[in-house]
Amino acid sequence: MFGALHQHIGFICHVYLNDIVIWSQTLDEHRKNLETILECLCLNKLYCSPKKTDLFCTFLHFLSHYISANGIEANGKKVEKIQNWPLPRCASDVRAFLGLVRYISNFLPALAQHTSVLNSLTTKEAEKDFCSTDTYLSAFNAVKHLVTSREWLTVIDHNNIGSNEIFVSCDASNLCLGVVLTYGELLETVCLVAFKSQQFLS
């Protein structure tokens, strides 16, 4: 699938395994893009299942994210699960919580600043002698707050770059590194594309 559509990926479509998303700015453009993709699939003897095909949608559920004209939003069910997560009582609880949070990490700025505190509760030593302090409780609640105030993300339009620029902004502390990918004419008015943060290994 990827090989058949490689020249169009990132421009008019996105491919993940056997799923294809085609996007456009107008209805006429969408018809042309749809025809282009279907021709490529046909040339490579690849076919779409009518039962699994949705055409001309303005709202889409894809890879557990919600995509619309407003941008990309994190999966509401996963967000709700994080918001309702009880205070971890063992290292396994913390690992499960962090695993779920990382699933929507692209929507959360400076996440590693808080998860770096919680990561120390996932070690073998913590498993034997689990101790939740005010510092850990504060980090746990801070992550939940980040999820509540999460951002909408946008997609870079490679077909209509125009005067827009792609900006990568970085910041670091002794504990972690944070990066924000944005897109727009000016740094002051950009749209958010993705967040990434990572704790440094000690």
* One domain for residues 83 and 120: yes
As a whole-number percent, the residues of the chain with pLDDT over 70 amount to: 100
Same domain, 126 and 80: yes
Residue 156 lies in a domain: no
**Count of structural domains, the chain:** 3
Q: Which of 4-13, 28-37, 70-79, 173-182 has the highest mean pLDDT?
A: 28-37
Residues 6 and 42 in one domain: yes
For 24-52, how does the pLDDT look when each residue is reduced to its tens digit (9 = 90+)?
889 999 999 999 999 999 999 999 999 99
Q: Is residue 70 scored above 70 in pLDDT?
A: yes
Q: What are phi and psi of 186, to 5 degrees?
A: -125, 150
Cα-based distances in Å from 6 to 16, 20, 36, 151: 12, 12, 12, 30
Q: What is the mean pLDDT of residues 14-18?
A: 89
Res. 155: pLDDT tops 90:
no
Residue 159 lies in a domain: no
Statement to judge: residues 134 and 171 lie in one domain? no
Mean pLDDT, range 162-182, rounded to an integer:
88
State how far Cα 62 lies from the chain centre. Answer: 11
Q: Are residues 89 and 127 in the same domain?
A: yes
pTM of the entire predicted model = 0.67
Neighbours of 173 (CB within 10 A): 12
Residue 187 lies in a domain: yes
Domain-embedded: residue 68:
no
Are residues 86 and 111 both part of a single domain?
yes
Q: Is the dihedral of CA 60, 76, 120, 124 positive or negative?
A: negative
User: What mean pLDDT do residues 80-103 have?
Assistant: 91
Q: Which of 69, 115, 67 is nearest to 94 (CA)?
A: 115
Among 87, 85, 90, 86, which residue's Cα sits nearest to residue 131?
A: 90
pLDDT at 202: 66
pLDDT higher than threshold 80 for residue 8: yes
Q: Mention every residue, 6+ apart, whose C-beta is less than 8 A from residue 69.
A: 58
In a domain, 64, yes or no: no
Round to whole Å and give the CA distance between 114 and 175.
10
Residue 83 scores a pLDDT above 70: yes
Residue 49 is part of which domain span?
A: 2-57
| Three-class secondary structure assignment of 35-52 | HHHHHHHHHCCCCCCHHH
